Amino acid sequence: MTIREFKMPDVGEGLTEAEILKWYVQPGDTVTDGQVVCEVETAKAAVELPIPFDGVVHALLFEEGTTVDVGQVIISVRTEAGDAAEAAPVQEAAPAAAEAEEEPAPAARQPVLVGYGVSTASTKRRPRKAPAGTAAQNGTAAPAVPAAAPAPAAPAVPAQQNGNGQAVEERPLAKPPVRKLAKDLGIDLASVVPTGDGGIVTREDVHAAAAAALAPQTVAAPAQAAPAAAPAPVAAQAPAAAVEPAARETRIPVKGVRKVTAQAMVGSAFTAPHVTEFITFDVTRTMKLVQELKADPDLAGLRINPLLLIAKAVLVAVRRNPDVNASWDEAAQEIVLKHYVNLGIAAATPRGLIVPNIKDAHAKTLPELSEALSSLVATAREGKTSPADMQNGTLTITNVGVFGVDTGTPILNPGESAILAVGAIKLQPWVHKGKVKARQVTTLALSFDHRLIDGELGSRFLADIAAVLEHPRRLITWS
């Protein structure tokens, strides 16, 4: 029997890391080739990972919520057959797994799609460092903090036992984001008591060390051993400072979809010169058509809503103004006209905003467009949108009206020429056939890249969308 390792694959076309969202197996569970063992989130989407061999789970090397670099071992499995030479280091380390992980072994770099390799040796674990005593032996700059920290840090006790009190000269184990957090907070990682699996310093450990480091500034040193008693002396000196700093702010790590969205929006806002135009108009006829289509037996079982007809109106307007469907090639200094429409639909999910797109939306009938929209939204809500579904979009629709918002100035999805914000549809007084009547009214806002679309073209495009929705018979006459 041998032990085989499964490494974090490159699941997102060149992405270098992924966060483990959920483990579907535990040590001792039997797994088969192709079985999904965990769900991970990359900067683009949540992805389920299948294991490529049969066996029994030996160990899960990272906890849920941990960000893991591509190429690192995330799970080990006992198998009946395998490469004995490859499994030997794992087998030797198995009896002492509670004390130390595998020793580094030189190996060639494993290629990934971002142009550099991930060293196989980097996936091996270094021996754990002793949480308390080691820092002092390594010459920590602030010995007072580690000296007092073990008292409140009960979770660190197993790590101390597993470490056997051995001093390790190598730097503390921590992921790059955790190292950056420690640097930002001014915390020496050597002074932090690790509670993560394998002696890894976690974000919580850094925050705990930061809170402990703040105590000596306002409270006598003995108070570090009993943080619960700290508020009393502080209140005696200055009542306004009675609340611990940690309770006044919450820091949320920026990662996954939210991180890549933020980077993309900053890049888009300061690369493409944005122009936004607005139009407010009567959509009463479109809303009546929605109700009629819902009652149509030929469309039974399909999701019919205003967004469906708005999407169809955008596609008709693109056909009348094909130059809006383009992209800017900075390297070649060319405008690339697209003869297809991959229509993006912005979707708010618990993990952040994503923009999957309907491939070749221009060629779909109304029922096909309805099915594509329903599938897109359902997949996004489940967090199962694949990276491919979010690539190569040409135009985007964002429906801010579902939140009761009248309009906005949306930022372009990178690489696209325009984005249409749809406002709330409300019953308002409106002049209709010379009389003021209650009508269904909405506002559209179109942001576009002024390098690709000038004011005239953008205005005609937006006006055509509104014209179709104001008189939906144009879905036929203009098609």
Least confident window among 94-98, 307-311, 403-407, 413-417: 94-98
285 with 397, same domain: the answer is: yes
Longest dimension (CA), the chain: 88
List the domain range (segments joined by +) for residue 154.
133-248
Angle CA 135–183–260, to nearest 5: 130
Separation of first and last alpha carbons in the chain: 66
395-412 pLDDT, tens digit each: 999 999 999 999 999 999
What confidence score (pLDDT) does residue 171 get? 63
346-377 pLDDT, tens digit each: 988 777 788 999 999 999 999 999 999 999 98
What confidence score (pLDDT) does residue 428 get? 95
Q: Between 456 and 195, whose confidence is greater?
A: 456
243-288 pLDDT, tens digit each: 455 567 787 777 766 676 777 778 777 778 899 999 999 999 999 9
Tokens for 421, please give them: 């914000």
- The mean per-residue pLDDT over the stretch 175-187 comes to 74
Q: Between 433 and 188, whose confidence is greater?
A: 433
Tokens for 24, please give them: 């579907």
What confidence score (pLDDT) does residue 366 get? 95
Is residue 128 one of the residues assigned to a domain? no
296 with 225, same domain: the answer is: no
In this model, does residue 175 exceed pLDDT 50? Answer: yes
Is residue 280 one of the residues assigned to a domain? yes
Known active-site residue 450: yes
Is residue 187 one of the residues assigned to a domain? yes
Torsion of the alpha carbons at 355, 359, 360 and 366, rounded to the nearest 10: -80
Structural domain count, the chain? 3
* Residue 91, C-beta contacts closer than 8 angstroms, at least 6 positions apart: 2, 3
Angle CA 182–188–191, to nearest 5: 120
Determine the Cα–Cα distance for residues 246 and 185; give it in Å rounded to an integer.
12
- The mean per-residue pLDDT over the stretch 210-238 comes to 43
Residue 233 backbone dihedrals phi, psi, to 5 degrees: -65, -30
Tokens for 326, please give them: 């383009």
Q: Between 446 and 141, whose confidence is greater?
A: 446
- The mean per-residue pLDDT over the stretch 151-180 comes to 52
Percent of the chain with pLDDT over 70: 70
Percent of the chain with pLDDT over 90: 41
194 with 334, same domain: the answer is: no
What confidence score (pLDDT) does residue 324 get? 97
369 with 288, same domain: the answer is: yes
What confidence score (pLDDT) does residue 107 get? 44
- Catalytic: which of 58, 362, 450, 471? 450
Q: Give the number of residues written for the chain.
A: 479
What confidence score (pLDDT) does residue 123 get? 40
* Residue 328, C-beta contacts closer than 8 angstroms, at least 6 positions apart: 272, 335, 336, 417, 449, 451, 452
355 with 471, same domain: the answer is: yes
Cα-to-chain-centroid distance, residue 348: 12
158 with 210, same domain: the answer is: yes
Q: Between 178 and 228, whose confidence is greater?
A: 178
In this model, does residue 89 exceed pLDDT 50? Answer: no
What confidence score (pLDDT) does residue 265 get? 74
- The mean per-residue pLDDT over the stretch 458-462 comes to 97
Domain termination site, one of 192, 221, 248: 248
Determine the Cα–Cα distance for residues 136 and 147; give it in Å rounded to an integer.
8
In this model, does residue 419 exceed pLDDT 90? Answer: yes
What confidence score (pLDDT) does residue 155 get? 41
Is residue 66 one of the residues assigned to a domain? yes
412 with 388, same domain: the answer is: yes
- Dihedral sign for Cα 231, 234, 239, 242, please: negative
- Which band of pLDDT confidence, cut at 50, 70 and 90, is reported for residue 154? very low
What is the average pLDDT score of the chain? 76
196-214 pLDDT, tens digit each: 877 888 877 877 777 766 5
CATH number of the domain bearing residue 341: 3.30.559.10
**Which of 393, 457, 456, 390 minimizes the C-alpha distance to 419?**
393
What confidence score (pLDDT) does residue 193 get? 84
- The mean per-residue pLDDT over the stretch 302-319 comes to 96
337 with 441, same domain: the answer is: yes
Determine the Cα–Cα distance for residues 445 and 278; give it in Å rounded to an integer.
4
